[in-house]
Amino acid sequence: MSSTMTVTSLNRKIKSLLETTFMHILVEGEVSSVTYHNSGHLYFSIKDEESSIKCVMFRSNVNRMKFRLERGQHIVVNGSISLYTPRGEYQLLTLSIEPFGQGALALAYEQLKEKLQKKGYFEASAKKPQPKYIKKIALVTASKSAALQDMLKIIEKRWRLLEVVVIDTLVQGDKSAPQIAEALAYADTLGCDAIVVGRGGGSKEDLWAFNEEVVADAIFRLNTFVVSAVGHEVDVLISDFVADLRSPTPSAAMEMILPDQNEILYTLSEMESRYSRVMQQLLNIKTEQLKAFEEEFKRHSISRKISIVEKEFSNIEEEFKRVMVYKLTQFTSQIAQPKVLKDSMEYALKLKSQQLKSLEEKFLLHNPKLKVKEGWTEVILDGKRVSLNRINIDDRFVVVDADVKLEVKCLNKEKI
Task: Evaluate whether residue 171 is within a structural domain.
Answer: yes
Query: Which residue, of 259, 278, 295, is where some domain finishes?
Result: 259
Instruction: Identify the pLDDT of residue 410.
Output: 86
Q: 85 and 45, same structural domain? A: yes
User: Domain total for the chain?
Assistant: 3
Q: Calculate helix-pair angle for 146-158, 250-257, nearest 10 degrees.
A: 20
Distance CA 90, CA 81 (A): 7
Task: Evaluate whether residue 178 is within a structural domain.
Answer: yes
Instruction: Identify the pLDDT of residue 149.
Output: 94
Q: Report how far apart the first and last C-alpha atoms of the chain are (Å, whole number).
A: 200
Q: 180 and 62, same structural domain? A: no
Task: Evaluate whether residue 304 is within a structural domain.
Answer: no
Q: Give the residue from 54, 69, 137, 80 showing the smallest Cα distance to 108.
A: 69
Using DSSP bridges, classify how beta strands 194-199 and 136-141 pair: parallel, antiparallel or unpaired: parallel
pLDDT along the chain (416 residues), means of 10: 79 84 86 91 91 92 87 88 88 88 76 90 93 94 93 92 95 92 96 95 88 95 96 89 94 92 85 91 92 83 80 86 82 65 79 84 65 70 84 86 82 82
Q: 165 and 84, same structural domain? A: no
Q: 214 and 157, same structural domain? A: yes
Task: Evaluate whether residue 49 is within a structural domain.
Answer: yes
Q: 98 and 143, same structural domain? A: no
Q: 87 and 37, same structural domain? A: yes
Task: Evaluate whether residue 16 is within a structural domain.
Answer: yes
Query: Which residue, of 207, 228, 259, is where some domain finishes?
Result: 259
Task: Evaluate whether residue 284 is within a structural domain.
Answer: no
Q: 153 and 60, same structural domain? A: no
Query: Which residue, of 206, 233, 259, is where some domain finishes?
Result: 259
Instruction: Identify the pLDDT of residue 234.
Output: 85
Q: Give the residue from 259, 298, 39, 242 showing the smallest Cα distance to 137.
A: 259
CATH of the domain at 69: 2.40.50.140
Instruction: Identify the pLDDT of residue 319.
Output: 85
Q: Give the residue from 126, 237, 258 showing the smallest Cα distance to 180.
A: 237
Is there a contact between 164 and 139 (Cβ–Cβ < 8 Å)? yes
Residues 6 or more apart from 262 whose CB is under 8 A from it? none
Residues 6 or more apart from 36 whose CB is under 8 A from it? 42, 62
Instruction: Identify the pLDDT of residue 225.
Output: 97
Instruction: Identify the pLDDT of residue 371.
Output: 56
Nearest-10 Cα torsion for 38, 40, 43, 46: 130
Q: 179 and 67, same structural domain? A: no
Residues 6 or more apart from 157 whose CB is under 8 A from it? none
Give the global pTM. Answer: 0.53
Q: 96 and 141, same structural domain? A: no
Is there a contact between 81 and 92 (Cβ–Cβ < 8 Å)? yes
Q: 93 and 146, same structural domain? A: no
Instruction: Identify the pLDDT of residue 366.
Output: 61
Task: Evaluate whether residue 349 is within a structural domain.
Answer: no
Buried/exposed code over 382-414 (b: 16+ C-beta within 10 A; e: otherwise): eeeeeeeeebeeeeebbeebeeeeeeeeeeeee
Boundaries of domain holding 172: 117-122+132-259
Distance CA 320, CA 330 (A): 15
Task: Evaluate whether residue 413 is within a structural domain.
Answer: yes
357 CB neighbour count, 10 Å cutoff? 10
Distances, alpha carbon 44 to alpha carbons 53, 92, 119, 143, in Å: 9, 10, 27, 43
Q: 216 and 140, same structural domain? A: yes
CA angle 406, 410, 414 (to 5 degrees): 125
CATH of the domain at 246: 3.40.50.2300
CA angle 63, 64, 67 (to 5 degrees): 90
Q: 58 and 171, same structural domain? A: no
Give the 3-state secondary structure of the chain.
Answer: CCCCCCHHHHHHHHHHHHHHHCCCEEEEEEEEEEEECCCCCEEEEEECCCCEEEEEECHHHHCCCCCCCCCCCEEEEEEEEEEECCCCEEEEEEEEEEECCCCHHHHHHHHHHHHHHHCCCCCHHHCCCCCCCCCEEEEEECCCCHHHHHHHHHHHHHCCCCEEEEEECCCCCCCHHHHHHHHHHHHCCCCCCEEEEEECCCCCCCCHHHHCHHHHHHHHHCCCEEEEEECCCCCCCHHHHHCCEEECCHHHHHHHHCCCHHHHHHHHHHHHHHHHHHHHHHHHHHHHHHHHHHHHHHHHCHHHHHHHHHHHHHHHHHHHHHHHHHHHHHHHHHHCCHHHHHHHHHHHHHHHHHHHHHHHHHHHHCCHHHHCCCCCCEEEECCEEECHHHCCCCCEEEEECCCCEEEEECCCCCCC
